Chain A
């Protein structure tokens, strides 16, 4: 039995895949949060950051393809394991109320699937910039000027995007589910890799709770403060205006309208 077939074909191996890809996704979630929190600075801060990422296509596409593979593996093994788990108990009990387990641990598949749906929406919303789904208009028309170059106005996009109540709500619901998913998943990750004993288990569980709460607060603050008009309200008025103007047929989209 080679190591690859040992991982792909055994229940324990698939748990390693879940845990390994989960750990990488956790690292991405932290990095992405640090990037996004720049929205609380001046507009140029996050626009500069976005511009920097955009100017490195090799890095951006490498990361995108890598993340896609990681998410794909995470979902693939989750589905494989869930199918086997369901098949292992064909007749259920009289009372399905389970004993001795947390509800977070029993709803990993559900929370995971909603997060997957959110990721699809989030990519269409802020990466593919599909105009029909954001409740505002065509985000690709939002441009700003950085160091004399034209760049995407990510700040304006976020502000306008989260002023729509249902978008802000959906983002916050998805973050709540990510919190549920991580509060169990971060601890289970250590268990799957066998990196625990009775001394470390309580510490690992505290780490999982603390990290998932911190991530929830960090991410949920962004749509919450923008929707409540605490952040960027003046800027929103300005760019809303420019979006309408730049959408006018006579003007080329590339022209700045400050």
Chain B
């Protein structure tokens, strides 16, 4: 099979970009979308042109590095998969496929289809952690976790931080990502001590990064390769409200040891 690619080409962050059209060489329909890009790039490179830059790493749907908006939908036409698990058999011979980078002010383009997602890292740094003493691993099951909570926490922990939620949202909102991180730790006993501090810090960082806010359209949930539910955004909203009601921890007057 052969396809036509309409790809966003942009040299660097501050240069203007444009769509360029490429004809693919003959393809195997069982190639992944990224393998197709490799083949097209080889062709481009052989002609002495600059190949299309795109993000990829594990190519098995667990790292969250790949990031193309394919025909208007992040990660391509299927539900619950990343771009690396999208195969050419999902397209027809002769199709024109539009390939774009994630588009958000908080995700500046580095080159072509590669965007800078370090905004997500900074949100994680703000509160996406728990403070524990390191040392010998504690006994398994020494802290009981209810089945319901562990299931929910695992659902949230599925988030691979790819940013498809931001790419799909009409407001470029990162709430599904932040909600998944807040819920993942907030549902487990180890995450309780910092639960309310965490949600405030992560939401504040999210706002600072310039993401939009949630209008409950459901686009993020629909494109998420890990099918993270909007339920988690509700959970984050609830935790944030509780955090505001609880206020800052009170300082104890004259509180010194001894």
Q: Which residues on A are within 8 Å of B, measured CB to CB?
A: 1-3, 6-7, 10-16, 81, 84-85, 87-95, 97-102, 105-106, 108, 184, 187-188, 190-198, 201
Separation of A219 and B141 alpha carbons in the complex (Å) = 59
Could you say which residues of chain A place their CB within 8 Å of the CB of B212?
11, 81, 84-85, 87-89
Query: Is B207 a contact of A6 with CB atoms below 8 Å?
Result: no
User: Given A11-B203, A188-B215: A194 and B237 within 8 A (CB)?
Assistant: yes
Chain A proximity of B254: nearest CB distance (Å): 24
Q: Counting chain B CB atoms within 10 Å of each CB, which of A1, A3, A87, A91 scores highest?
A: A91
- CB-contact partner of A101 in B218, B241, B247, under 8 A: B218
B215 surroundings in chain A (CB, below 8 A) = 81, 85, 105-106, 108, 188
**B interface residues, tally (CB under 8 Å):** 53
Taking CB atoms, residues of chain A closer than 8 Å to B222 are 99-101
**When the two chains form the complex, which single residue of A12, A94, A188 contacts B216, counting CB atoms closer than 8 Å?**
A188
Name the contact of B171 in the complex, choosing from A14, A89, A94 (C-beta under 8 A): A89
On B, residues with C-beta under 8 Å from A are 6, 8, 19, 69, 71-74, 98, 100, 103-106, 168, 170-173, 200, 203-204, 206-207, 210-219, 221-223, 229-231, 233-241, 244-245, 247-248
Are B206's CB and A11's CB within 8 A? yes
Contact A198 B231, CB 8 Å, known A93-B72, A193-B237: yes
Measured between C-beta atoms, what is the minimum distance from B225 to chain A in Å? 13
Contact of A81 among B6, B210, B213, B236 (CB under 8 A): B213
Whether B247 lies near A3 (C-beta < 8 A) is yes
A136 to chain B, nearest CB (A): 40
Instruction: Report B-chain residues with C-beta under 8 Å of the C-beta of A192.
Output: 214, 216, 237
- Report Cα–Cα, A81/B214, bound state, in Å: 9
Known contacts: A93-B100, A99-B73. The answer to whether A88 contacts B207 by CB under 8 A is: no
| A100–B218 CB distance below 8 A | yes
Knowing A3-B245, A88-B173, A102-B217, the reply to whether A93 touches B238 (Cβ < 8 A) is: no
Q: Across the two chains, which residue of chain A brings its CB closest to B247? A: A3
Given A6, A95, A102, A195, which contacts B72 in the complex, CB threshold below 8 Å? A95
Q: How far is the CA of A187 from the CA of B217 in the complex (A)?
A: 11
Q: Which of B98, B170, B207, B245 contacts A98 (CB 8 A)?
A: B170
Q: Which of A15, A88, A94, A194 contacts B238 (CB 8 A)?
A: A194
Ranked nearest first, the 8 interchain pairs of A and B with the lowest CB-CB distance are A100-B222, A194-B238, A101-B217, A88-B212, A85-B171, A194-B237, A88-B172, A85-B212
Question: Chain A contacts of B234 at CB under 8 A?
Answer: 190-191, 194-197
| CB–CB B217/A88 < 8 A | no
The answer to whether A198 and B229 touch (CB under 8 A), given A101-B218, A108-B215, is: yes
- Distance (Å) between the CB of A171 and the closest chain B CB? 27
CB-CB under 8 A from A14, the residues of chain B are 213
- In the bound complex, residues from chain B placing their C-beta under 8 Å from that of A85 are 170-173, 212-213, 215
